[in-house]
Amino acid sequence: GQHVANILAFQPDERIAQVIALRDYTAAPYLVLATRKGLVKKTALTEYDNGRSSGLIAINLREDDELLAAALISADDDLLLVSKQAKSIRFQADDEALRPMGRATSGVMGMRLVGDDELLAMQVARDDQDALLVVTDGGFGKRTRLSEYKRQNRGGQGVLTARIEEKRGQLVGALIVSDADEIFAITSAGVVIRMSVEPLRYLSRATSGVKLVALDRGTTVVAVAHNGEAAADVETGEEAGELLEPVETAAQVEPTQTADQAPPGAAADTDGDDDS
Protein backbone atom coordinates (compact mmCIF):
# COMPACT_ATOMS: atom_id res chain seq x y z
CA GLY A 1 0.00 0.00 0.00
CA GLN A 2 0.90 3.65 0.09
CA HIS A 3 1.16 6.11 2.94
CA VAL A 4 -2.08 7.92 3.67
CA ALA A 5 -0.18 11.21 3.47
CA ASN A 6 -0.14 10.65 -0.31
CA ILE A 7 -3.94 10.84 -0.29
CA LEU A 8 -4.69 13.32 2.48
CA ALA A 9 -2.98 16.58 3.36
CA PHE A 10 -1.74 16.23 6.96
CA GLN A 11 -0.53 18.98 9.25
CA PRO A 12 2.80 18.51 11.10
CA ASP A 13 2.42 16.05 14.01
CA GLU A 14 -1.12 15.17 12.86
CA ARG A 15 -2.10 11.50 12.91
CA ILE A 16 -5.19 9.38 12.27
CA ALA A 17 -7.40 8.75 15.32
CA GLN A 18 -10.13 6.63 13.70
CA VAL A 19 -11.08 5.15 10.34
CA ILE A 20 -14.79 4.65 9.55
CA ALA A 21 -16.12 2.97 6.40
CA LEU A 22 -19.36 4.37 4.94
CA ARG A 23 -21.03 4.35 1.54
CA ASP A 24 -22.50 7.83 1.77
CA TYR A 25 -23.31 10.55 4.27
CA THR A 26 -26.77 9.18 4.99
CA ALA A 27 -25.34 5.98 6.52
CA ALA A 28 -26.17 7.31 10.00
CA PRO A 29 -27.77 10.45 11.40
CA TYR A 30 -24.74 11.55 13.43
CA LEU A 31 -20.99 11.32 13.89
CA VAL A 32 -19.93 11.46 17.54
CA LEU A 33 -16.38 12.35 18.61
CA ALA A 34 -14.63 11.84 21.95
CA THR A 35 -11.41 13.36 23.31
CA ARG A 36 -8.87 12.14 25.86
CA LYS A 37 -10.09 14.75 28.34
CA GLY A 38 -13.59 13.27 28.31
CA LEU A 39 -15.38 15.68 25.96
CA VAL A 40 -17.92 14.37 23.45
CA LYS A 41 -19.58 16.01 20.48
CA LYS A 42 -22.44 14.93 18.20
CA THR A 43 -22.71 16.43 14.72
CA ALA A 44 -24.96 15.62 11.78
CA LEU A 45 -23.01 13.33 9.46
CA THR A 46 -24.11 15.33 6.43
CA GLU A 47 -21.99 18.26 7.68
CA TYR A 48 -18.89 16.27 6.70
CA ASP A 49 -19.96 15.78 3.08
CA ASN A 50 -16.94 17.31 1.38
CA GLY A 51 -14.34 15.82 -0.95
CA ARG A 52 -11.43 18.15 -0.19
CA SER A 53 -8.13 16.32 0.38
CA SER A 54 -7.30 18.84 3.09
CA GLY A 55 -10.37 17.71 5.01
CA LEU A 56 -12.71 19.69 7.23
CA ILE A 57 -12.53 20.94 10.78
CA ALA A 58 -14.22 18.18 12.80
CA ILE A 59 -13.70 19.53 16.32
CA ASN A 60 -12.17 22.57 18.00
CA LEU A 61 -9.69 20.88 20.32
CA ARG A 62 -8.79 22.56 23.57
CA GLU A 63 -5.23 22.93 24.83
CA ASP A 64 -3.53 19.66 25.82
CA ASP A 65 -6.40 17.59 24.43
CA GLU A 66 -6.63 15.31 21.40
CA LEU A 67 -9.23 13.35 19.49
CA LEU A 68 -9.50 9.77 20.74
CA ALA A 69 -12.41 8.10 18.93
CA ALA A 70 -15.25 8.57 16.47
CA ALA A 71 -18.42 6.56 15.83
CA LEU A 72 -21.62 6.64 13.80
CA ILE A 73 -24.73 6.80 15.98
CA SER A 74 -28.45 7.50 16.04
CA ALA A 75 -30.42 9.26 18.76
CA ASP A 76 -31.62 5.87 20.03
CA ASP A 77 -28.11 4.68 20.89
CA ASP A 78 -26.21 4.87 24.17
CA LEU A 79 -22.58 5.87 24.52
CA LEU A 80 -20.27 4.00 26.89
CA LEU A 81 -17.06 5.78 27.87
CA VAL A 82 -14.20 3.95 29.62
CA SER A 83 -11.19 5.60 31.27
CA LYS A 84 -7.65 4.34 31.77
CA GLN A 85 -8.25 4.13 35.52
CA ALA A 86 -11.14 1.70 34.93
CA LYS A 87 -14.10 4.02 35.37
CA SER A 88 -17.02 3.99 32.93
CA ILE A 89 -20.19 5.91 32.23
CA ARG A 90 -23.17 5.11 30.01
CA PHE A 91 -25.62 7.75 28.79
CA GLN A 92 -28.15 8.27 26.04
CA ALA A 93 -27.16 9.96 22.81
CA ASP A 94 -30.57 11.55 22.20
CA ASP A 95 -30.86 15.27 21.55
CA GLU A 96 -31.89 16.04 25.12
CA ALA A 97 -28.80 14.44 26.68
CA LEU A 98 -26.40 15.22 23.83
CA ARG A 99 -27.59 17.99 21.58
CA PRO A 100 -26.21 18.23 18.02
CA MET A 101 -23.43 20.79 17.54
CA GLY A 102 -21.58 22.31 14.63
CA ARG A 103 -18.22 21.08 13.39
CA ALA A 104 -16.12 23.95 14.77
CA THR A 105 -17.04 23.40 18.43
CA SER A 106 -15.28 21.72 21.34
CA GLY A 107 -18.09 19.52 22.59
CA VAL A 108 -19.45 18.96 26.08
CA MET A 109 -18.41 16.95 29.11
CA GLY A 110 -19.11 13.27 28.56
CA MET A 111 -17.19 11.90 31.55
CA ARG A 112 -15.65 13.87 34.41
CA LEU A 113 -12.12 12.53 34.84
CA VAL A 114 -10.28 12.74 38.15
CA GLY A 115 -6.60 13.62 38.52
CA ASP A 116 -4.44 12.43 35.64
CA ASP A 117 -7.04 9.96 34.35
CA GLU A 118 -7.75 9.96 30.60
CA LEU A 119 -10.43 8.51 28.38
CA LEU A 120 -9.41 5.15 26.96
CA ALA A 121 -12.33 4.17 24.72
CA MET A 122 -15.77 5.17 23.47
CA GLN A 123 -18.20 2.44 22.46
CA VAL A 124 -21.78 2.49 21.14
CA ALA A 125 -24.14 0.39 23.29
CA ARG A 126 -27.27 -0.99 21.63
CA ASP A 127 -28.04 -4.41 23.14
CA ASP A 128 -27.85 -5.27 26.85
CA GLN A 129 -27.13 -8.89 25.90
CA ASP A 130 -23.76 -7.72 24.58
CA ALA A 131 -20.84 -7.22 26.93
CA LEU A 132 -17.97 -4.85 27.60
CA LEU A 133 -14.61 -6.58 27.25
CA VAL A 134 -11.67 -4.90 28.98
CA VAL A 135 -8.01 -5.96 28.69
CA THR A 136 -4.92 -4.91 30.66
CA ASP A 137 -1.36 -4.54 29.44
CA GLY A 138 -0.46 -7.54 31.59
CA GLY A 139 -2.67 -9.79 29.45
CA PHE A 140 -5.65 -10.03 31.81
CA GLY A 141 -9.22 -9.38 30.76
CA LYS A 142 -12.90 -10.05 31.32
CA ARG A 143 -16.33 -9.33 29.89
CA THR A 144 -19.29 -7.85 31.74
CA ARG A 145 -22.86 -7.64 30.46
CA LEU A 146 -23.95 -4.18 29.41
CA SER A 147 -26.97 -4.55 31.69
CA GLU A 148 -24.59 -3.91 34.62
CA TYR A 149 -23.86 -0.46 33.21
CA LYS A 150 -26.97 1.53 34.04
CA ARG A 151 -27.74 4.76 32.24
CA GLN A 152 -26.51 7.88 34.02
CA ASN A 153 -26.59 11.57 33.28
CA ARG A 154 -23.81 12.74 31.01
CA GLY A 155 -20.93 14.47 32.81
CA GLY A 156 -20.60 12.25 35.88
CA GLN A 157 -17.53 10.33 37.10
CA GLY A 158 -19.11 7.00 36.28
CA VAL A 159 -18.76 3.65 38.03
CA LEU A 160 -16.02 1.08 38.49
CA THR A 161 -15.58 -1.16 35.46
CA ALA A 162 -12.66 -3.30 36.68
CA ARG A 163 -10.58 -3.77 39.81
CA ILE A 164 -7.06 -2.78 38.82
CA GLU A 165 -4.12 -4.55 40.46
CA GLU A 166 -0.52 -3.55 39.82
CA LYS A 167 0.58 -7.10 39.00
CA ARG A 168 -2.13 -7.40 36.35
CA GLY A 169 -1.44 -4.08 34.65
CA GLN A 170 -3.40 -1.06 33.48
CA LEU A 171 -6.29 -1.03 31.02
CA VAL A 172 -5.22 -0.75 27.40
CA GLY A 173 -8.45 -1.61 25.60
CA ALA A 174 -12.23 -1.78 25.94
CA LEU A 175 -14.61 -3.21 23.33
CA ILE A 176 -18.30 -4.08 23.20
CA VAL A 177 -18.53 -7.72 22.10
CA SER A 178 -21.03 -10.53 21.53
CA ASP A 179 -20.57 -14.31 21.77
CA ALA A 180 -19.89 -14.63 18.03
CA ASP A 181 -17.06 -12.10 18.04
CA GLU A 182 -13.35 -12.66 17.82
CA ILE A 183 -10.73 -10.18 18.92
CA PHE A 184 -7.07 -9.48 18.23
CA ALA A 185 -4.65 -8.71 21.05
CA ILE A 186 -1.52 -6.93 19.82
CA THR A 187 1.65 -7.13 21.92
CA SER A 188 4.64 -4.81 22.23
CA ALA A 189 6.71 -7.48 20.45
CA GLY A 190 4.55 -7.11 17.34
CA VAL A 191 2.68 -10.38 17.86
CA VAL A 192 -1.04 -10.51 17.00
CA ILE A 193 -3.07 -13.07 18.97
CA ARG A 194 -6.51 -14.04 17.66
CA MET A 195 -9.04 -15.39 20.15
CA SER A 196 -12.74 -16.11 20.50
CA VAL A 197 -14.90 -14.21 22.97
CA GLU A 198 -17.33 -17.07 23.66
CA PRO A 199 -15.14 -19.09 26.11
CA LEU A 200 -15.05 -16.16 28.53
CA ARG A 201 -17.83 -16.39 31.08
CA TYR A 202 -19.40 -13.18 32.31
CA LEU A 203 -17.89 -11.46 35.35
CA SER A 204 -19.18 -8.52 37.36
CA ARG A 205 -17.77 -5.02 37.10
CA ALA A 206 -15.84 -5.20 40.40
CA THR A 207 -13.51 -8.02 39.33
CA SER A 208 -9.98 -7.98 38.00
CA GLY A 209 -10.45 -10.61 35.29
CA VAL A 210 -8.45 -13.67 34.23
CA LYS A 211 -5.37 -14.39 32.16
CA LEU A 212 -6.13 -14.07 28.44
CA VAL A 213 -2.70 -13.81 26.87
CA ALA A 214 0.60 -15.51 27.80
CA LEU A 215 3.32 -12.88 27.52
CA ASP A 216 7.09 -13.20 27.47
CA ARG A 217 9.01 -11.29 30.12
CA GLY A 218 9.14 -7.61 29.26
CA THR A 219 6.29 -7.88 26.73
CA THR A 220 2.92 -6.20 27.20
CA VAL A 221 -0.41 -5.99 25.42
CA VAL A 222 -0.63 -2.60 23.71
CA ALA A 223 -4.02 -2.77 21.98
CA VAL A 224 -7.10 -4.89 21.30
CA ALA A 225 -9.38 -4.81 18.26
CA HIS A 226 -12.35 -6.61 16.74
CA ASN A 227 -11.71 -9.19 14.05
CA GLY A 228 -14.08 -7.91 11.38
CA GLU A 229 -13.59 -11.03 9.26
CA ALA A 230 -15.22 -13.15 11.97
CA ALA A 231 -18.50 -11.27 11.56
CA ALA A 232 -18.30 -11.75 7.79
CA ASP A 233 -17.78 -15.49 8.29
CA VAL A 234 -20.93 -15.68 10.42
CA GLU A 235 -23.00 -13.80 7.84
CA THR A 236 -21.85 -16.06 4.99
CA GLY A 237 -21.98 -19.28 6.98
CA GLU A 238 -18.26 -19.86 6.58
CA GLU A 239 -16.21 -21.40 9.34
CA ALA A 240 -13.62 -19.24 11.01
CA GLY A 241 -10.00 -20.26 10.78
CA GLU A 242 -8.09 -21.95 13.57
CA LEU A 243 -7.98 -19.80 16.69
CA LEU A 244 -5.27 -19.13 19.18
CA GLU A 245 -7.21 -19.88 22.34
CA PRO A 246 -6.63 -17.82 25.48
CA VAL A 247 -4.11 -19.44 27.82
CA GLU A 248 -6.73 -19.52 30.56
CA THR A 249 -10.38 -18.73 30.21
CA ALA A 250 -12.79 -17.46 32.80
CA ALA A 251 -14.21 -20.98 33.01
CA GLN A 252 -10.80 -22.25 34.15
CA VAL A 253 -9.71 -19.48 36.50
CA GLU A 254 -11.73 -18.24 39.45
CA PRO A 255 -11.52 -14.43 39.56
CA THR A 256 -10.90 -12.44 42.69
CA GLN A 257 -14.02 -10.44 43.45
CA THR A 258 -14.91 -7.71 45.90
CA ALA A 259 -17.97 -5.64 46.52
CA ASP A 260 -18.25 -2.70 44.21
CA GLN A 261 -17.36 0.29 46.35
CA ALA A 262 -17.51 2.83 43.56
CA PRO A 263 -20.64 4.98 43.81
CA PRO A 264 -22.37 6.11 40.64
CA GLY A 265 -21.05 9.40 39.33
CA ALA A 266 -22.81 12.59 40.19
CA ALA A 267 -25.71 13.24 37.90
CA ALA A 268 -24.65 16.85 37.40
CA ASP A 269 -24.94 17.75 33.76
CA THR A 270 -21.91 20.07 33.67
CA ASP A 271 -20.73 20.82 30.18
CA GLY A 272 -17.88 22.41 28.34
CA ASP A 273 -17.79 25.97 27.12
CA ASP A 274 -19.87 25.17 24.05
CA ASP A 275 -22.86 23.77 25.95
CA SER A 276 -24.62 26.97 26.86
59-82: pLDDT as tens digits: 999 999 999 999 999 999 999 999
Q: Is the pLDDT of residue 147 over 80?
A: yes
The predicted pLDDT at position 11 comes to: 74
Residues 6+ apart with CB under 8 A from 6: none
For the structural domain made of 1-126, what CATH number should be given? 2.120.10.90
CA atoms 119, 216, 202, 226: torsion sign: positive
The answer to whether 161 and 87 have CB atoms below 8 angstroms apart is yes
The answer to whether 142 and 205 have CB atoms below 8 angstroms apart is no
**How far is Cα 109 from Cα 175, in angstroms, rounded to an integer?**
21
Q: Is the pLDDT of residue 42 over 60?
A: yes
The predicted pLDDT at position 20 comes to: 86
Q: Is the pLDDT of residue 276 over 80?
A: no
Name the fold adopted by 128-259: Neuraminidase (2.120.10)
**Alpha-carbon dihedral of residues 203, 204, 208, 213, nearest 10 degrees?**
30
Sheet of 182-187: strands edge to edge? Answer: 192-196, 182-187, 221-226
The predicted pLDDT at position 228 comes to: 78
Sheet of 119-125: strands edge to edge? Answer: 119-125, 78-83, 87-92, 159-160
The predicted pLDDT at position 172 comes to: 96
**How far is Cα 49 from Cα 80, in angstroms, rounded to an integer?**
27
The answer to whether 59 and 35 have CB atoms below 8 angstroms apart is yes
Percent share of the chain, pLDDT over 70: 80
Task: Tell me the CA distances in angstroms from 265 to 15, 43, 90, 114, one per residue in order.
Answer: 33, 26, 10, 11
159-170: pLDDT as tens digits: 999 998 888 889
- Domain positions in the chain are 1-126, 128-259
> 1-126 with 128-259: one CATH topology?
yes
Q: Is the pLDDT of residue 88 over 90?
A: yes
Q: Is the pLDDT of residue 189 over 90?
A: yes
Residues 6+ apart with CB under 8 A from 27: 45, 72
Q: Is the pLDDT of residue 227 over 50?
A: yes
The predicted pLDDT at position 191 comes to: 93
257: β partners: 207
For 24-38, 124-138, 244-258, which range has the lowest pLDDT when averaged over its residues?
244-258
CA atoms 189, 192, 193, 196: torsion sign: positive
Q: Which residue has the higher pLDDT, 91 or 251?
A: 91
pLDDT, mean of residues 20-40: 93
pLDDT, mean of residues 16-24: 85
From the list 117, 143, 115, the residue with the least C-alpha distance to 129 is 143
Ramachandran class of 264: left when φ > 0, alpha when ψ lies in -120 to 50, beta otherwise? beta
The predicted pLDDT at position 13 comes to: 77
232-271: pLDDT as tens digits: 454 434 444 333 444 333 333 344 444 344 444 443 444 4
SS3 category, 228: helix
First to last CA, the chain: 45
Q: What is the mean pLDDT of the chain?
A: 83
